[in-house]
Chains A and B, each alone.
Chain A
Amino acid sequence: MAEKSIIEQSMPDIAKLRQGTYRLLSAWSLYPDALIIEITPESCGCLLAFEKTAAHLPFYIQWSKFLTFLLKVKPQDLADLQNTYMELFGESGPYKAISLYESSFLSNSEKQDCGLFLSKLLARYFDLGVQPSLKNGPDHLAVELELVSFLIGKEVVAWEQADSNKLIELLKQEKEFLGDHLVNWIPKLKRTLAFREESGFYHHLVDQISHFISHDIDFLPHLIRSLSESECGNSK
């Protein structure tokens, strides 16, 4: 019997697992508190429920290892994680803090127009229907990851409504945002962090973010193309 060439009923599941993964990565990019440690096992459990579908995607091995790694974080690790976070990204350590803001990784010429960059980014959030809290700037890692998660949340609804035009529009928005922002600066953040931490928690976190977005930016055009071709087919 010929094997099925499709992963049945998987698209909404894939969207959900991508949405959840971005949200989890976003939450862990902030200063850790008791709540994030408390909700992580449940969040990981929800994501691992999509494991069978996720295994078809190239990020699977790293993704499942990272979730397993997160499941090992216990409430008693909180103080250590908070100290590490402050040493790396705050001003409490002996070294210069590593910035989690995209604007810090702009090239010298781009930095001259940093204000313009931030206002354009903020305008983009508004266009997409989001008003980010000003507590963390619009270019903070957690905020950018959360925005992608938000867009994928809209994608989940579009899948449920089987609205292919809306889907294509949303997928293009996700691709453009990833390509214009996260894909550009996360590798730089990863390299900067690698000088300070070779195997710690935040090294794994940024490595996972980098891995996940590099596969996602490949996956999205593939999906857009498939959907566009399906639309062409329908219109004939």
Chain B
Amino acid sequence: MKQRILVILCHKLDISKEMFDDKFLNQNFKKDFSVEVLVINNLGTRLGDIHALVGKDQFSHLVIGVSTDEVNLATVQVQAQQLSIHPFAVEIVLLGSGSPLTRSFALLWAAIARLHAFSGASPNNVRSVTMPRQAITRRDFFSLPKLTQLPAPTIDSSVCRAAYGCEVCAANCHGDALTNDGGVIHVNREKCTSCGVCLSRCPSEAVQFPRWSREEMNAWLASLLQCKDVKQGPVLFLCHQANLPSTANNWLPVRVPCQAYMTVPLILQTLTSGASVVGIQSCGDKCLTGESDLIDQRIDFCQKLLKAFGQESSRVYRVNNSDPSTLLPPKVDQHDYQFSMPFQGFGLSAYWEALTKLTETCLDQDAVQNIEILHTASPVGVIEINEEVCTVCGTCAGVCPTRALTFESEKGTLDLDFDPTRCIGCSECVKYCPEREGGAITIHRSTQITRFQKGKQTVSQDAKIACQKCHEVFATTKMLKKIKSMLGEDFNSIMGDYCTRCRSYG
């Protein structure tokens, strides 16, 4: 079915009198032929009747603009299903009471952009939950608690690097829902909490997580940040279970699956693409991930980074409903970051792009060259190779999920190259290094501007040893030296001349 988006607004929305003026609707929403706007009297009490008001199979997506935070997602999803609209092709936009017209329009338009980017979901991407979780009581024995459809991840095995040892998603999954079973990532949907951490951390972009996919989130933020009327607005990323703060009208709220979904690249690129401030709000005690410390570390890292670039560190902070002093975004000095397409909020490319923008706008260029922030929340790592111990076997390059470490053998030597712009500091290289006990490779979570600017460099090198019979390279001089030291008198000179195969088969 062709994409057709239905926007339903409550007539009681106290946005502005001109909001429902036909001229305004025609000038804005209706310029996109895929969008149709329906204004319903007392929408809040008639949410359960939407399917009766709109014909089945007419629309592919649904946006509901309401002023109250009490709209039940489960109810709207049921209505959507009855219209043959996928539960993830629904967006509820909380416009709040008295919201400025331009802000409301930007939020609705961003929701539409998100829905345009939604490309469907497989049955394995859907899990049903009761929100809040509740047991069946004796009184309601025959009644099912209302189910909300939330996304669960699926793995694109064609790009997943689990077969090479990558376990970044499984290692970051707090619910143990992901496991690497013989090189294949298995998803246990019963254990999944739909936090989206696997999606935001996967270096190979192998995780499919509809509703909050990279494409959808990028489209959402791109639409919001380039909307000329709300430019330089403060963006509030809040958990989808969190209540909007009373000062919501001062923010541009963006719902995320969990606070733990917020990565440093996403925060920084939002800032360097036009947002004046980024606030992060969790769902508090309801949080299933318990990742508050992790988010605090990421916020702390972003603040330190901004400070190092001569910016106000208060441009990133945690919003807490119980702390009134955090509810209003702080005023910050004007900045001139321009939005640039494509917006890639996730991943290291977004991080380096944000750092490039911060570097360009920093007044003290000499200070930039000395920026080196060692921090557990740094999204990038820097490796150090102890050439005395490293045998240049290349195991680390084989398991590196982002190919930050590569093994070159075209020249007369075997080179281990390191590209700092690709390293995510996952430590897989250290885990699999045969010489790890001797400290052949160490990794620091650190952002070093000079290392980044230098780009790819050779970090370890050794001469190749080729088999005297088949001429295949089978070792390096350091490897042989190591084997010799281990075997002592048992070392046979043939071992240094021929590969295992030629030694076995003569």
Query: Footprint of B on A, CB under 8 Å?
Result: 1-12, 14, 55-62, 64-65, 159, 162, 164, 210-211, 214-215, 218-219, 221-223, 226-227, 229-230, 232-234
Contact = CB atoms under 8 A, between A and B. Distances in A.
A159 B142 CA distance: 7
Nearest to B87: A58
B143 A3 contact: no
A10 B147 CA distance: 12
Contacts of B82: 55, 60
A234 B138 contact: yes
A162 B75 CA distance: 27
A59 B46 CA distance: 24
Contact of A11 (B70, B81, B130, B144): B144
Contacts of A6: 140, 143-146
A222 B87 contact: no
A61 B127 contact: no
B136 A7 contact: no
Contacts of A8: 140, 142-143
B134 interface: yes
Contacts of A56: 74, 78, 144, 146-147
Contacts of A234: 138
Interface string B90-130: 00000000000000000000000000000000011011111
A10 B142 contact: yes
Nearest to B57: A65
Given A3-B75, A55-B78, A222-B128, A11 B142 contact: yes
B434 to A, nearest CB: 32
Contacts of B70: 2-3
Nearest to B48: A3
A230 B146 contact: no
A5 B78 CA distance: 13
Contacts of B136: 226-227, 229-230
Interface string B210-244: 00000000000000000000000000000000000
A80 to B, nearest CB: 26
Nearest to A2: B70
Contacts of B135: 226, 229-230, 232-233
Interface in B29-85: 45, 47-48, 51, 70, 72, 74-75, 78, 81-82, 84-85
A55 B138 CA distance: 24
Nearest to A4: B146
Given A56-B78, A60-B81, A221-B190, A7 B126 contact: no
Interface of B: 45, 47-48, 51, 70, 72, 74-75, 78, 81-82, 84-87, 123-124, 126-130, 134-138, 140-147, 149, 189-190
A8 B72 CA distance: 16
Given A57-B128, A58-B149, A12 B142 contact: yes
Give the one of A2, A9, A14, A58 with max B CB within 10 A.
A58
Contacts of B127: 218
B141 A11 contact: yes
A181 B379 CA distance: 43
Contacts of B189: 218
Given A59-B123, A159-B142, 12 more contacts: A5-B130, A9-B143, A56-B147, A57-B128, A61-B84, A61-B86, A64-B84, A162-B141, A218-B190, A226-B135, A229-B135, A230-B138
B146 A218 contact: no
Contacts of A229: 135-136
Contacts of B130: 5, 222, 226
A5 B145 CA distance: 6
A222 to B, nearest CB: 6
A101 B134 CA distance: 40
A222 B137 CA distance: 15
B143 A11 contact: yes
A76 to B, nearest CB: 26
Contact of B146 (A5, A12, A222): A5
A232 B129 CA distance: 20
Given A5-B146, A222-B129, A55 B123 contact: no
A221 B135 CA distance: 13
Contacts of A218: 126-128, 189-190
A49 B269 CA distance: 51
Contacts of B140: 6, 8
B147 A57 contact: yes
B123 A9 contact: no
B144 A14 contact: yes
A14 B147 CA distance: 13
B123 A214 contact: yes
Nearest to A12: B142
Contacts of B149: 58
Contacts of B72: 3, 5
A230 to B, nearest CB: 4
B124 to A, nearest CB: 6
B146 A9 contact: no
23 contacts: A3-B72, A3-B75, A4-B146, A5-B134, A6-B146, A8-B143, A9-B142, A11-B144, A57-B128, A58-B126, A58-B128, A58-B149, A59-B123, A62-B123, A162-B142, A164-B141, A211-B123, A218-B126, A218-B128, A218-B190, A219-B128, A227-B136, A229-B136
B118 to A, nearest CB: 14
Contact of B126 (A14, A65, A215, A232): A215
B442 to A, nearest CB: 42
Contacts of A210: 123
Nearest to A229: B135
B59 to A, nearest CB: 13
B88 to A, nearest CB: 10
A159 B128 CA distance: 21
Sorted from nearest, which 4 A-B pairs have the closest CB atoms? A229-B135, A6-B143, A214-B123, A230-B136
Contacts of A164: 141
A4 B139 CA distance: 14
Contacts of A62: 123
A210 B190 CA distance: 18
B478 to A, nearest CB: 42
A6 B142 CA distance: 10
Contacts of B142: 8-12, 159, 162
B211 to A, nearest CB: 13
Give the one of B47, B48, B82 with max A CB within 10 A.
B82
